[in-house]
Every structure is written in structure tokens, then in C-alpha cells.
Amino acid sequence: MLARARALERSGRDVVHLEIGQPDFPTPRHIRDAAIDALNAGHTGYSPTPGIPELREAIAEHASGLRGIAVGPERIIVTPGAKPLLFYAVNALAGAGDEVIYPDPGFPMYRSLIEHAGARPVPIRLREENAFRFDIDEFRRLVSDRTRLVILNSPENPTGGVLSRSDLEAVAAEARSRGFYVLSDEVYLHFAYDEPFTSVASLPGMLDRTIIVDGFSKTWAMTGWRLGWGVVPPELFATFELYNVNIVSCACTFGQHGAIAAIRGPWEPVEEMIAEFRRRRDFLVDALNALPGVSCVRPRGAFYAFPNITGTGLAADELSRRLLDEAGVATLPGTAFGPAGAGYLRLSYASAFERLEAAVERMGRFLASSS
Ligand code: PLP
């Protein structure tokens, strides 16, 4: 969609980009300065495979405080973005004969990785009427003796759904009794607007059964730096380290020095960015709900709105394509995130407030003329 939008722009059209999943803010100044200083100080060689010790210490402290867990640096591995950790976890744990439960609609990488590992993907459907949370009865029916891993993503891409503490408790109870692992993708944890974030790893008995995936991309607007981290149970750590050393050696060394500054703060730039995302969310959801044929549940987290567009009479793929071609608004069809995304669009509000206003106005004009 981005490539198509860029092609339109090259032909002189103005396009509002609501298809992109990265903050539209620059990386805060003190973080950039720390990386530049590290470069100039000669930190240009390899770092230890799991990350530079000071960063692992800082992450352990930060990750523990936020989640109410107690982990030391020996559990922390630093990777080039959060994505490698998803790959490592699925490949370390799942293979032929195993089942992996993952959210649908969900981040497309999950299903792709499960299939690649030769395991059976078992989607759990996230429904609008349930605020895009798990239906726990359905979850219990999907769990089997072959379940090896359950992937959670809360706050979720693309729906903005947030799992409640009782959802997490139900997942944890099954994990303890059946003995499966949980991969908890928490890259949007700071973007939980309406409730304090809960990590499944903080529930009794779950720390050694949970791989926490987090990173710098979203929270500090650092997508291009490629820096993420995992909190990994001791019994899996050597495997994650083996993947890291053989695939990437280490994450970018001077970038890791910037990452230390990110965690140490100041945190004001992050807080300001999140306040702005909340303001955009509230505007966008209200504006979408005023459009003909569109209804939108207020997302509780991340930076995506996931409006139901069935009332427009157009399928998501067609509506997304026509909004780009005829109205200059780039979105993603919900089906890009799994079959359960049919009937929805994903709109990223990582775009300036005025651009969101322009997008909704253009969508309104398009929908009025096409009905
Ligand atoms: N997990 C989810 C749910 C995401 O939406 C993304 C990026 O869009 C990632 C992981 C990957 O993030 P990173 O840039 O740290 O690799």
C-alpha cells in the first residue's frame, strides 16, 4: 500500500498516510546525542552478543519496574528490533506436530512464522463485540495437548484491543496446567490509554513460562535504529543467544548507547508523544463514527483505529484501494491481518492531527458520493 501511495505521490497527488505503523515523531534529542557521542568515542565494534552490560542492566531495571517482576540482566537479550525475538521464540519452541495459538486479526508475522516452523497455526478470533479481547471460553476450547506456545499481543496491532487482567489470568491458568509457553509481544505497552498495563509474566508462576518481547521502535520513535529486547526464561536463554550470535552477532553498538539514554530519560518526550496519540485517537474515533456506514470501537491501546466498514457495502480490500486512488487516503484492509479482519480497515494515527482531519474529511466526501 505504501509503494502504491508513493507512486501516486510521484505523479503529483497528495496522499494522507494512515497505513504506516511507526510514530511520526523524531527520536528524542538526548538519545540521538548519546549515539553520536558513542560513535565519536569509538564504540564502533561488535558488542557482546546479548547486548552491552550497562544496557542489559538498565533494561532489567526498567522492565522489572514497569511490570512488577524481578528480573536481572542475565535474562535480557538485545536484538536488532523486536522482530528477531518473535522468530527466535517460535523457532525455539514450535515444530511439526505442535500447535501455536495466535490472535486473528493480528500482526501478520505470527502466522507466517508458525507456518515456517512447520507447526500448526491456531487462530483465536478477536471480536469487535468483545472489544477485540480474547473470548476465554473459545480460548479454552482451542488449547490442546499439542499447544506449545500462545502468542499474546496487548495492546494489539491492528485492533488496539487490550487484554484485561482476568483474560491474562485465564491464559496463565491454562499455561500452568498444560505446560505451554507464552510469547507476550508488549511493544505497545506504553500506549495503553485507559488502564494500567498488566504483563502476563507478572502473574504467579508465569515468569519462567513467558518470553517478553519489547523494544525501542514504538516507545521512543526509533524504528530505524533496529533495537529490541527480550526477557527470556533461563531454560531458553542459550538458544536465543545462539540465534543472535549466528544470525546477527549483536545489535548495533553505538545504537545501544543511545538506548541506554532512552531508558535513563528524560521521559518527557515520550510522555508528550503518548498524550498526543491519545488526543488523536479521541478525535479520529469520534470522526469515524460520524461517517456513513462506518462504526469504530474506541481502541484502548497502540496507535491504530480499526473501524467496521461493512455498512459502506464495500469489501475492505476494495474500500482501501478506492480510498487511496479516489480520495488520496492510504489505509490497510483488515484482511492484511488475517481473515477475521474482513469488514475492517486499519488506520494508523501516527500522522499529524491536521492530516487526520484531512483524511476524515476526504473519506466523508468519498463515502457520500459512492453511496
Ligand atoms: N510486534 C508488533 C505487534 C508490531 O506491530 C511490530 C511493528 O510493527 C513489531 C513487533 C516489530 O517491531 P520492531 O520494529 O521492534 O522490530
Residue 80 Cα to ligand 1 middle (Å): 11
Q: Whose CA is nearest to atom 12 of ligand 1?
A: 82
Residues 6+ apart with CB under 8 A from 67: 197, 199, 201, 202, 212
pLDDT tens for residues 6-43?
A: 999 999 999 999 999 999 999 999 999 999 999 999 99
| Residues listed for the chain | 371
What distance in angstroms lies between residue 92's CA and the mean position of ligand 1's atoms?
19
Band of residue 193 on the pLDDT scale cut at 50, 70, 90: very high
Mutate to test the pocket of ligand 1, among 83, 184, 219 (most ligand atoms within 8 A of CB): 83
Which of residues 371 and 164 earns the better pLDDT score?
164
| Strand pairing category for 345-348 and 332-333 | antiparallel
d(CA 120, CA 47): 36
Alpha carbon of 119 to ligand 1 centroid (Å) = 22
User: What CATH number has the domain spanning 29-264?
Assistant: 3.40.640.10
* Fold designation for 2-18+268-370: Aspartate Aminotransferase, domain 1 (3.90.1150)
Cα–Cα distance for residue pair 342/326, rounded to 1 Å: 21
Q: Is ligand 1 within 6 A of the CB of residue 198?
A: no
Q: Is 14 exposed, middle or buried (0-12, 13-18, 19+ CB in 10 A)?
A: exposed
Q: What is the mean pLDDT of residues 128-139?
A: 96
CATH 3.90.1150.10 residue window(s) in the chain = 2-18+268-370
With 0.75 as the threshold, say if the pTM is over it: yes
The pLDDT tens digits for 60-117 are 999 999 999 999 999 999 999 999 999 999 999 999 999 999 999 999 999 999 999 9
Burial 280-293 (b: 16+ CB within 10 A, else e): bbeebbebbeebeb
Pocket test for ligand 1, best of 216, 217, 248 (most atoms within 8 A of CB): 217
Q: Distance from the CA of 89 to the center of ligand 1, in angstroms?
A: 14
**Measured between alpha carbons, how far is 335 from 90 in angstroms, rounded to an integer?**
23
pLDDT score for 371: 67
Distance 370 CA to ligand 1 centre (A): 35
Q: Quick check: CB of 187 below 6 Å from ligand 1?
A: yes
- Segment 182-198 shows an average pLDDT of 96
Phi-psi region of 118 (alpha: psi -120 to 50; beta: other; left: phi over 0): left
Model confidence band, residue 370 (pLDDT cutoffs 50, 70, 90): confident
> Average pLDDT of the chain?
97
Bridge pairing between strands 345-348 and 304-305: antiparallel
pLDDT-derived band of residue 224, with 50, 70 and 90 as boundaries? very high
Q: CATH 3.40.640.10 occupies which residues in the chain?
A: 29-264
Cβ neighbourhood burial of 70 (10 Å; 0-12, 13-18, 19+): exposed
